[in-house]
Structure 1
Amino acid sequence: MTGTDTRPDSGGLAAIGARTIPEFEGVHDVWPRGARLAAVREAAAAYKTRFKAQGQIHAVKSVDIAAAPYPVHYAFHDAVSVPTLPLISMINRMIVVQYADWDGRARTLVFEPTVPDGSAEAPFYRNLQRLTNRLPGGRLIEKAIVRYYNEPGDVLEQLGLAPEDIDFCTFDHLHVQDPRMILGSTAVVEGETEPREPLFAGARMLVHARELATLQSLHPMQWAWYVEGGLDGVDPDKFVTFDGDIELGPGIALLWTPGHTDGNHSLVINTPDGVWVSSENGISLDNWQPELSKIPGVRRYAEQLGREICPNANTLEDSLDQYDSMVKEKTLADPCKDDPRWLQILPSTELVAWKRFWPVVPTYLHGGIEYGTLKGSRS
């Protein structure tokens, strides 16, 4: 089935002015796996044509939140071929998007509103902090790899927005995220004295059903990357769950991109410069376009293994799915206006270009995104 989907929406999509995307129905079930990749690529190309024809978002702006450490061997699937520091840093960016939903209502979405204090409680980062503290010069190491720029709540004021202006928030996946910090909680978070108030007033969190279920019932292989207890005291009605791929309105979609996690999804927006995609399947464009990479070993990784991507591989719940998902993202993204060799893919956490990490620095850096003017009660 192609064209506009007029069938009833699943779950609560109709209530938020969203709808499913028929082009992708069933493609992730195609067998064998080579045929599935071809089906994903074909569906993405077909959807891109319709997606662009439907219109553009009203405005978008990204703001840096924090730079956090990350192991090099995860970042490029052990492809880096020269001795390096074991850790690099990557910057999390909060992206605010304004658009009209399919009922014509003006909406504001916040993508990746990471609260650093919550992320620090994920077992991976908690253990890394303990290790750093035990090392000689541990504080100097931390200063070299960690940097704080903004808190999500402060960003709204900078942009002329109020918490009440936000309709929805979402993360591409819930690794190192604590929903209590965003949605509020009736239970007191450990180390605090009062229940958490919602960060964005009545905003609801859009989350893939498989990702929310993962946080509700963690497998030991997933445990280190999630904040255990992150759902304690959170009102279940604060979540809007969905399956598969959905479009929120003209020019904005959340595409299911499984593999990195079961419920991973990517933000896709249409702008005056064409389509942009954001996810954490990679931490730099080098992951999606290894053939252009100057990071030692990354291009050779792709050439020797016959692969067109080099995944961000801290977890590989299904490495073949992640490969297909990154091809899905590449197919949707348009070429960059400033250098058409590169695609308009903005990692949700992007490898920094700090000289101290050379040669593991991005070959090409987008560094953020901004189109139009955000409008809110504080503008």
Structure 2
Amino acid sequence: MTLTNSLSDIGARAIPEFDGVHDVWPRGDRLRAVREAAAAYKVRFKAQGQIRAVKSVDIAAAPYPVHYAFHDAVSVPTLPLISMINRMIVVQYDDFDGRPRTLVFEPTMPEGSAEAPFYANLQALMAKVPGATKFAETLMLKYYNEPGDVLDQLGLRPEDIDFCTFDHLHVQDPRMILGSTEVIDGESEPRQPLFGDAKMLVHSRELATLQSLHPMQWAWYVDGGLGGVDPSKFATFDGDIELGPGIALLWTPGHTDGNHSLVLNTPDGVWVSSENGISLDNWQPELSKIPGVRKYHEHFGREICPNANTLEDSLDQYDSMIKEKTMADPCKADPRWLQILPSTELVPWKRFWPVVPTFCHGGISYGEIQAGLR
């Protein structure tokens, strides 16, 4: 594949503070190195400036197994499935060449996610139980907006978008975002790009995973999701990069090999977003009121309780969540909690009590999103 690999092409640059930290051995020393590097980078990151604007909009709520969500920590009988909200975030910033940019983070297409084997198998299983599909749709599914509709709401056009990205490519179909020369099964014509000529920023390890899936990864990826996609639509990177003052993509491996987290500097300080957790309870289990999560923290002496559907490398994921916690600033509304916004967040619906978030940001909004910056 012919890919964009020069950071200068996208007005970005590497982050030297994290050079080599993921290679430190033994693992206890690596955790300390990750924490210290994040603390050092945070000082420089905040001093560089803030983004222009950011706005999040809910896309859809979908079911997810409780035992994955909190690493089997939940200690009371409950429904086997809860719901999580996919949330699309639009960020505007200036890159390091001074060009105004618009980035779309997590533009999930629900019909694409449904094709991932995990969800396809779940649907097939429910179809065998009378009334189960309708029950699940009523209880757990909710559709708010399509990514294209979000642009309309914000006054943007597809050609206003420079980049799109996902923290990782679980249950994502790149064909539905970037377009394809091939016809997707069940459709009548090839997909057109959702965001014009925008490129998808993707960690090189994440893209390679989708190109060659291991059986332990297969259920969570849309196999064939690269079919007919123009390779030049991807802009790949390695390690940790900053896109401009106030915005960075930090490599946070573990949940997947190429997982990365969105980090933003705003008027209220630093925010972090990823799916290493699905609620703040995952990052701050010592404050959790979800039965079993605080005990998980106390029993194992762990600072985090991971979102654990894959566990490609649980030690890496632990270190990555510490990296995120170190970068995030305290919440202005309640300083006990960090400004971490899960890219897919546990719903606060009472029907799933007691598995509801102890504290929920519910979104992010600063400044005014503007059209025509390109």
Q: Same fold (TM over 0.5)?
A: yes
Identity %: 83
Task: Tell me the amino acid that sits aligned with residue 58 of structure 2.
Answer: D
Task: Tell me the amino acid that sits aligned with residue 34 of structure 2.
Answer: V
Between the aligned partners of 2:128 and 2:62, the Cα distance in structure 1 is 18
Q: CA deviation at 1:135?
A: 1.8
Partner residue in 1 for 2:253: 258
Partner residue in 1 for 2:369: 374
Matches within 5 A, 1:330-369: 330-369=325-364
Matches within 5 A, 1:11-26: 11-26=5-20
Uncovered stretches (5+) of structure 2, i.e. residues with no partner: none
SS in 2 for 1:198: coil
Between the aligned partners of 1:103 and 1:141, the Cα distance in structure 2 is 49
Q: CA deviation at 1:118?
A: 0.4
Partner residue in 2 for 1:133: 127
Between the aligned partners of 1:170 and 1:27, the Cα distance in structure 2 is 24
1:245 has 2:240 as partner: yes
CA contact (8 A) 1:132 1:142 kept: no
Between the aligned partners of 1:219 and 1:159, the Cα distance in structure 2 is 39
1:172 has 2:167 as partner: yes
Partner residue in 1 for 2:43: 49
Between the aligned partners of 2:49 and 2:316, the Cα distance in structure 1 is 29
Please point out which of 188, 199, 220 is paired with 1:225: 220
Partner residue in 2 for 1:3: none
Partner residue in 2 for 1:118: 112
Q: Give the TM-score, by structure 2 length.
A: 0.98
Uncovered stretches (5+) of structure 1, i.e. residues with no partner: 1-9
Please point out which of 24, 34, 37 is paired with 2:31: 37
Please point out which of 139, 162, 167 is paired with 1:144: 139
1:121-140 per-residue CA deviation (whole Å, 9 max, x = no partner) reads 00000011111222232212
1:89-111 per-residue CA deviation (whole Å, 9 max, x = no partner) reads 00000000000000000000000
Superposed CA RMSD: 0.9
Partner residue in 2 for 1:97: 91
1:267 has 2:224 as partner: no
Between the aligned partners of 1:149 and 1:126, the Cα distance in structure 2 is 21
Task: Tell me the amino acid that sits aligned with residue 283 of structure 1.
Answer: I
CA contact (8 A) 1:91 1:350 kept: yes
Between the aligned partners of 2:109 and 2:313, the Cα distance in structure 1 is 28
Partner residue in 1 for 2:198: 203
Matches within 5 A, 1:60-99: 60-99=54-93
1:139-173 per-residue CA deviation (whole Å, 9 max, x = no partner) reads 12221101100000111010000000000000000
Runs of 4+ in 1 over 2 A off after TM superposition: none
Between the aligned partners of 2:328 and 2:125, the Cα distance in structure 1 is 39
Between the aligned partners of 2:372 and 2:241, the Cα distance in structure 1 is 28
Q: Give the TM-score, by structure 1 length.
A: 0.97
